[in-house]
A = this chain, B = another copy of it.
């Protein structure tokens, strides 16, 4: 039996503002539909991508530089890459103890995805690669 192949690659670039996350999720939703993900995995992917984009916007320290989101369906997986052009840095402790949240973004991405990969870009910046396995029979 051969599988149908619908390998594709699509991308969007958004301004580094958290108001753009809504837009990014519409992109993820559409890509997930193309890859025939069910609503549960689509939700997981929307959350993981939103977390990665929120981090790029809030932490990378590259005001004005856009965030790139690229989706590809290949090897039985839907893979989404989020790139920013700032620098990966930890928050200073100087005001650290007032922070209400608990650094949920990275652990949540890992908990939801089949694989998370975080690499430094050579020119500075961070590339987060999120991937979910597609249900068998894999469509790409």
Residues of A within 8 A of B (CB): 88-90, 96, 99, 102-104, 106-108, 110-111, 114-120, 126
Contact = CB atoms under 8 A, between A and B. Distances in A.
B89 A111 contact: yes
A31 to B, nearest CB: 21
B102 A88 contact: no
A120 B130 CA distance: 12
Contacts of A102: 96, 99, 102-103
A86 to B, nearest CB: 13
Contacts of A111: 88-90
A96 B104 CA distance: 12
A25 to B, nearest CB: 21
19 contacts: A88-B110, A88-B111, A89-B111, A90-B107, A90-B108, A90-B111, A96-B102, A102-B102, A102-B103, A103-B103, A106-B106, A106-B110, A110-B118, A110-B126, A114-B120, A115-B119, A116-B117, A116-B119, A117-B118
